[in-house]
């Protein structure tokens, strides 16, 4: 039986009992029946809530948030962008056939730096070297297979 | 330290709230801790309404701006309150230690979990908190936070739903000035809003509901899984829900008792809901239409005039937002009213109703809305006092119908849209139902004294 159905049954029983229970005790009856959905639904949810909070503690600001599993997620790259790119600058993307969620996460983590389509002073290169992307960097930082390039 | 800073930043909205209460003539509705909590809640509502237009004008959502605004409103409030004749029948509502304890338990746990939980909700990091981060990091102490580059078309990953109003991101951005940019700590805004909402429930129900049912009803609202989920998600849904339902509850007592000061608060809280999310347009539209119908039924042109002024002011607050969206050619891509899709989608009506019903009776809401409807029907049959039960039934049904209409007129793929958003869009209806449950139970089970 679902929580809502069990709650409905409890309310129906309380309504029926209210025809017999003395009026002065009906407040107690109401309080009891209002606690039923809390008792049925909340403990399980609180366990999940506490679990998520515990999982969040100590996690890197840049790591992929649960429950997402983006294939191209690269926390080190995100940390590198925040470290090297000034807050007001824009960043373009090369070879960036990215999952939408990962792109949104990238935009959130590096904000207020802007992700732009047009060439910019800073470029993120995915899955290839700056040379393969046709870039001639002044500086470049490698993060696994991805690069942050300053022209 | 970030947590302390965030809490101090939230307190910066208190002068604004005190000023708004004084201006509204609602200062004496509550006393003690209850008054302080409601002042903060009203201050946050006023901030949600006032900060976005200031943003469009070039001001930043920073603490100096919030404090200056608060000083102005507080000054005006003191001047107005001094000229207002004192009322002798004031009996402000108070809250005792037991009430505070019942509220503090779930809210403190939520606050602890909110601070420790990462921003991991897709909507939170792609819409709400991304906008807040942009507003926080751009601009100076007073000017320039709304970078049109960020909110317009240049970026390939701009905030999703740029057409949403900026009330919630503005509030979070202001609090981030206290938390030094820490987003999870700034999201303490959500537990604080929930606390303020609990205080409003207490203000409305305490004189009408015996103590035990009131405490249990408050617990139900605060422990309800979806309330907590939305508080942790850090999106616009919880602020919209609490502001809108607070407005609806206060409108209820204004109709019943014509309590001085409540109508301006209704307008302010409704405007705050409108400043949070565009879903509120349908919700506030329902509230406005039904309120006007009620004044017509009462044959009270004096009430109708006051109500009309309040509603016009409430809806006027969305004009700056609509102008800004229009000027920047930002288009709504999924839902809206008047899209002309009603006829082509009407065959989905049964499916939409059944899907929304699944959410209403799902584990998140534990069926509070159908339960409220059933109790209203029972109260109607058993007490023959029809005003409260019929009001609840009509209001709930109208909110549900408006939601279905919005879905029917959607331009986006309906299955995706309803599946993705349905549990959140029924939140105002369910929060209202959960809030009013103790009162309905008291009436339906004939507990306490008859009104």
Mean pLDDT of B42-46: 98
Distance CA A5, CA A3 (A): 5
Share of chain B above pLDDT 70, in %: 95
> A98, A64 in Cβ contact below 8 A?
no
Q: Do A2 and B363 touch (CB under 8 A)?
A: yes
Chain A: give the shortest CA distance to residue B367, in Å: 5
Q: Is the pLDDT of residue B446 over 90?
A: no
User: Could A15 and B378 be called an inter-chain contact, meaning their C-beta atoms sit closer than 8 Å?
Assistant: yes
Instruction: Give the integer Cα–Cα distance in Å for A122 and A19.
Output: 75
B288 min Cα distance to partner chain A (Å): 30
- Which residue of chain A is at minimal alpha-carbon distance from B368? A4
Residue with tokens 């297979």: A145
Q: Does B449 touch chain A (CB under 8 A)?
A: no
ipTM above 0.90, yes or no: yes
Q: Is the pLDDT of residue B382 over 80?
A: yes
Contact in structure between A85 and A121 (CB atoms under 8 Å) = no
The 10s digit of each residue's pLDDT in A65-116 is 888 988 888 999 999 999 999 988 999 988 777 788 999 999 999 998 988 8
Chain A residue numbers touching B112 (CB-CB < 8 A) = 53
Pair B58, B144: CB distance under 8 Å = yes
Summarised one tens digit per residue, pLDDT across range B75-120 is 999 999 999 887 766 789 999 999 999 999 999 999 999 999 999 9
pLDDT at B160: 86
* Residue A60 touches partner B, C-beta closer than 8 Å: no
Answer whether B366 sits within 8 Å of A41, measured CB to CB.
Answer: yes
CA distance B219 to B211: 12
What's this model's pTM, rounded to 2 decimal places? 0.96
> Tell me, what's the pLDDT at A94?
84
Question: Residue B190: which of B360, B44, B17, B317 has the closest Cα?
Answer: B44
Whether B363 sits inside 8 A of A41 (CB atoms) is: yes
Confidence band of B336 (pLDDT split at 50, 70, 90): low
Using a pLDDT cut of 90, give the percent of chain B over it: 82
Residue in A closest to B137 by C-alpha:
A112
pLDDT in the model for residue A56: 85
Does any CB of chain A come closer than 8 Å to the CB of residue B416? no
Please report the pLDDT score of residue B153 as a whole number: 59
Domain ranges of chain A: 3-56, 75-150
Say if residue A67 is preceded by a cis peptide, omega within 30 of 0: yes
Let me know how long chain B is: 451
Give residue B451's pLDDT.
Answer: 44
């Amino acid at each position: 039986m679902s929580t809502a159905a069990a709650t409905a049954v409890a309310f129906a029983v309380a309504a029926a009992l209210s025809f017999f229970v003395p009026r002065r005790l009906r407040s107690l009856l109401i309080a009891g029946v209002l606690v039923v959905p809390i008792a049925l639904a909340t403990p399980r949810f609180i366990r999940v809530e506490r679990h998520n909070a515990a999982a969040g503690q100590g996690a890197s600001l840049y790591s992929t948030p649960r429950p997402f599993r983006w294939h191209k997620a690269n926390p080190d790259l995100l940390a590198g962008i925040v470290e090297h790119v000034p807050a007001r600058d824009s960043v373009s993307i090369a070879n960036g056939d990215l999952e939408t969620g990962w792109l949104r996460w990238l935009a959130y983590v590096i904000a207020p730096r802007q992700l732009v389509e047009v060439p910019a002073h800073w470029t993120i290169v995915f899955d290839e070297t700056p040379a393969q992307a046709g870039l001639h960097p002044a500086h470049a930082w490698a993060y696994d297979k991805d690069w942050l390039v300053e022209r | 330290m970030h947590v302390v800073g965030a809490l101090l930043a939230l307190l910066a909205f208190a002068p604004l709230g005190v000023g708004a209460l004084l201006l509204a003539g609602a200062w004496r509705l509550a006393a003690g801790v209850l008054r302080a909590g409601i002042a903060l809640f009203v201050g946050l509502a006023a901030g949600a309404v006032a900060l976005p237009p200031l943003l469009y004008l070039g001001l930043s959502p920073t603490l100096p701006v919030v404090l200056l605004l608060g000083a102005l409103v507080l000054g005006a409030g003191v001047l107005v309150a001094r000229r207002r004749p004192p009322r002798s029948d004031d009996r402000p509502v108070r809250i005792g230690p037991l009430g505070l304890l019942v509220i503090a338990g779930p809210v403190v746990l939520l606050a602890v979990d909110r601070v420790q939980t990462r921003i991991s909700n897709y909507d939170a990091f792609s819409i709400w908190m991304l906008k807040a981060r942009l507003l926080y990091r751009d601009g100076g102490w007073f000017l320039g936070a709304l970078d049109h580059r960020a909110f317009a078309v240049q970026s390939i990953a701009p905030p999703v739903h740029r057409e949403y109003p900026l009330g919630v991101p503005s509030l979070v951005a202001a609090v981030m000035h206290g938390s030094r940019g820490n987003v999870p700590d700034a999201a303490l805004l959500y537990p604080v809003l929930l606390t303020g909402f609990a205080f409003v429930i207490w203000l409305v129900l305490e004189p009408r509901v015996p103590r035990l049912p009131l405490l249990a009803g408050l617990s139900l609202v605060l422990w309800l899984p979806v309330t907590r989920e939305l508080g942790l998600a850090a999106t616009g849904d919880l602020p919209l829900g609490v502001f809108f339902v607070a407005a609806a509850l206060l409108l209820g007592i204004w109709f019943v008792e014509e309590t001085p000061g409540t109508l301006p608060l209704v307008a302010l809280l409704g405007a705050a809901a409108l400043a949070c999310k565009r879903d509120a347009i349908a919700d506030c539209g329902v509230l406005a239409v039904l309120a006007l119908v009620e004044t017509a039924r009462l044959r009270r042109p004096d009430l109708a005039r006051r109500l009309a002024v309040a509603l016009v002011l409430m809806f006027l607050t969305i004009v700056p937002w609509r102008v800004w969206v229009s000027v920047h050619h930002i288009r709504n891509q999924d839902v809206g009213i008047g899209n002309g899709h009603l006829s082509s989608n009407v065959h989905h009506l049964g499916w939409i109703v059944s899907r929304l019903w699944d959410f209403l009776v799902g584990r998140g809401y534990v069926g509070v809305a159908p339960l409220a409807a059933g109790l209203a029907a029972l109260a109607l049959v058993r007490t023959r006092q029809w005003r409260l039960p019929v009001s609840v039934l009509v209001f709930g049904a109208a909110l549900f119908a408006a939601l279905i209409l919005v879905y029917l007129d959607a331009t986006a793929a309906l299955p995706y849209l309803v599946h993705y958003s349905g549990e959140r869009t029924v939140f105002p209806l369910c929060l209202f139902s959960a809030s009013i449950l103790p009162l309905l139970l008291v009436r339906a089970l004939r507990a306490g004294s008859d009104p």
